[in-house]
Amino acid sequence: MTALSKIRLAQVAGQFYPGQAKAIQEQISGFIEGREEKTNALACMLPHAGYQYSGRVAAQTVARINIKDKVILLGPNHTGNGAIYSLMAEGVWQTPLGQVKIDAQLARSILAGSKYLENDSLAHSQEHSLEVELPILQYFKGDFEIVPIAFMSDDLPTLKKIGQELAAVIQSSGLKDRILLVASSDMTHYEPQDVAVVKDKLAIDAILGLDPDKLMREIKKSAISMCGYAPVIAMLSAVNALGARRAQLVKYQTSADSTGDQSAVVGYAGIIIN
């Protein structure tokens, strides 16, 4: 993606999720077990692996949320490209289900209110962690705008401050009821099933307690290979500032639920915060 490009083309369609709209819709439909009662959430955490592994967790979580007009997407930077704290401030993201526009006005407000975030599209050009969430969100809501933010740091004080900055902009803009924060993260990577379940419970309990400091402590103490803990910490800091009351684990699975192989699994959790 060049600096002048306005359209960020799908990079992992046909790999992490189907390349055709009908196939995406059919796969997501197959993940939904029934008509869920929806909630007006402040935020959620979703996994971002291939849909055959984590799509059921993500879809069943999103199925319970009234998706807002504006979605701030927070994800890890796996590629190492671009700024450490990268916000893509304008343009359109393309998926097989259509285009999703960046809310340039909200993006500019967030940049203006942050000491840390930089306007940068390079970090997002090939990163999958936010892209894979879009078709699932699009399946449930046809029209919304996004602000994509990618993190490449584990500095706890800075991550918490970014969350507080996001909350301040959301509050001052009067858009609290129209914005959903989505943190993208998988859980433990490539450990035996029994080990992954124990480690992931430690991290999930910290998230359910809305405690970013405890999450970081558990990550470090137990060497939990949760790839998106940085955006989750920022999200938790934001929702705490916004008055979050509770968090709910919707679903937890590992890759073994799809493959049957428990020798080296990846964990996936879907969490809703009100």
- The structure's pTM equals 0.96
Q: Tell me the pLDDT band of 2, cut-offs 50, 70 and 90.
A: very low
Residue 123 lies in a domain: yes
Are 183 and 264 contacting, i.e. CB atoms less than 8 angstroms apart? no
Q: Is residue 183 part of a domain?
A: yes
216 lies in some domain: yes
Q: Which domain holds residue 79?
A: 8-28+36-273
Question: Percent of the chain beyond pLDDT 90?
Answer: 96
Tell me if 202 sits within 8 A of 267, measured CB to CB: no
Give the H/E segment covering residue 187: none
In a domain, residue 51? The reply is yes
pLDDT confidence of residue 81 = 97
Domain annotation covers residue 1 = no
Residue 3 lies in a domain: no
Residue 268 sits in a domain of what CATH number? 3.40.830.10
Domain count, the chain: 1
Alpha-carbon span 249 to 270, nearest angstrom:
6
Per-residue model confidence as pLDDT tens digits over 137-179: 999 998 999 999 999 999 999 999 999 999 999 999 999 999 9
Q: Is residue 2 part of a domain?
A: no
Is residue 46 one of the residues assigned to a domain? yes
Residue 40 · residue 181 · CB < 8 Å: no
